[in-house]
Amino acid sequence: MDVAHDLFHADSRNILHYLHQLDDQLIPCRDHRRELGLVLASTLMRGAGLDWYEQGDVWAKVAAHRPAALPASFPTQVTDAELAAVRTLITACGNSASSPLTAAPDWAEAFQAAGAQLAALAKRGRLSRGPTLRTRPSCAVRVEPGQPLLTTPGVLLGNGRPGRVPSHPRPEARP
């Protein structure tokens, strides 16, 4: 819970700083909240030591929690260019000079540190999410449809409580 609290605090502080800079036109670019959400979530997962496929599992859980009926304005078709753009975002480092993260340099560091803390907790057996969590943390980003990614709480740990990302189903016992 401490990791989630610290990350929520850092995320809240940085999103407010980012929005303040947007309002004051101190950032010479458009609002990148959606893109930043992908970059930061990927930073968290890489910080936790999740490999490419484990990160894919996390994104699949995020997608599974989207409602079946999306708003009419939500695009139903995804182009190859959009897929390539998302792939670039989820594999990008946030420390380039042109990154919107330059507006709040410690933002990505907070997500990286939280991921590393989750990995350390998992290694010590301090996370309770099932047998697959003995050596690897599992992170999920809470995403509300129609909302920018970073206006909702940043990270949730799947522990089976209502409103949380459920754990993987356990295999049936075999005789």
Instruction: Break the chain into its structural domains and give their ranges.
Output: 2-68+79-156
pTM over 0.85: no
Which helix (H) or strand (E) is 140 found in, with range? strand 140-141
Query: Looking at residue 94, what is its pLDDT?
Result: 60
Phi, psi of 129 (to 5 degrees): -145, 15
Query: Looking at residue 153, what is its pLDDT?
Result: 33
Give the model confidence (pLDDT) of 114-146 as tens digits: 999 999 998 888 876 543 444 444 444 444 444
Low-confidence ranges of the chain (pLDDT < 50): 130-175
